[in-house]
């Protein structure tokens, strides 16, 4: 499958994610990620859960290859 830039989902990924981890001294640390970074973290968590973005795509929707999206001059829309 070719490299893909964005992937349609049945519901949009979250715009805010809070991640709780334990550091080397045993303290719990919470980090909040927003917007693009939250979507990236969500995407990577899907990989850890064994999911590929194609598993979340709506029926009949094809992925968009990176070659069709590069240098469009538009920023990502989060709303």
pLDDT at 45: 84
pLDDT at 57: 75
Distance of CA 64 to the CA centre of its chain: 15
In which residue ranges of the chain is pLDDT below 50? 1-9
Q: Residue 74 and residue 52: Cα distance in Å, rounded?
A: 26
pTM over 0.75: no
**Nearest alpha carbon to residue 40 among 70, 76, 66, 69:** 76
């Amino acid at each position: 499958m070719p490299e893909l830039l964005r992937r349609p989902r049945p519901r949009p990924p979250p715009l805010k994610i809070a991640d709780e981890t334990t550091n080397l001294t045993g303290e719990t640390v919470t980090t909040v990620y927003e917007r693009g970074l939250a979507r990236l973290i969500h995407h990577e968590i899907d990989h850890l859960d064994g999911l590929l973005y194609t598993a979340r795509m709506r029926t009949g929707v094809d992925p968009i290859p990176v070659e069709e999206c590069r240098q469009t001059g538009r920023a990502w829309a989060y709303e």
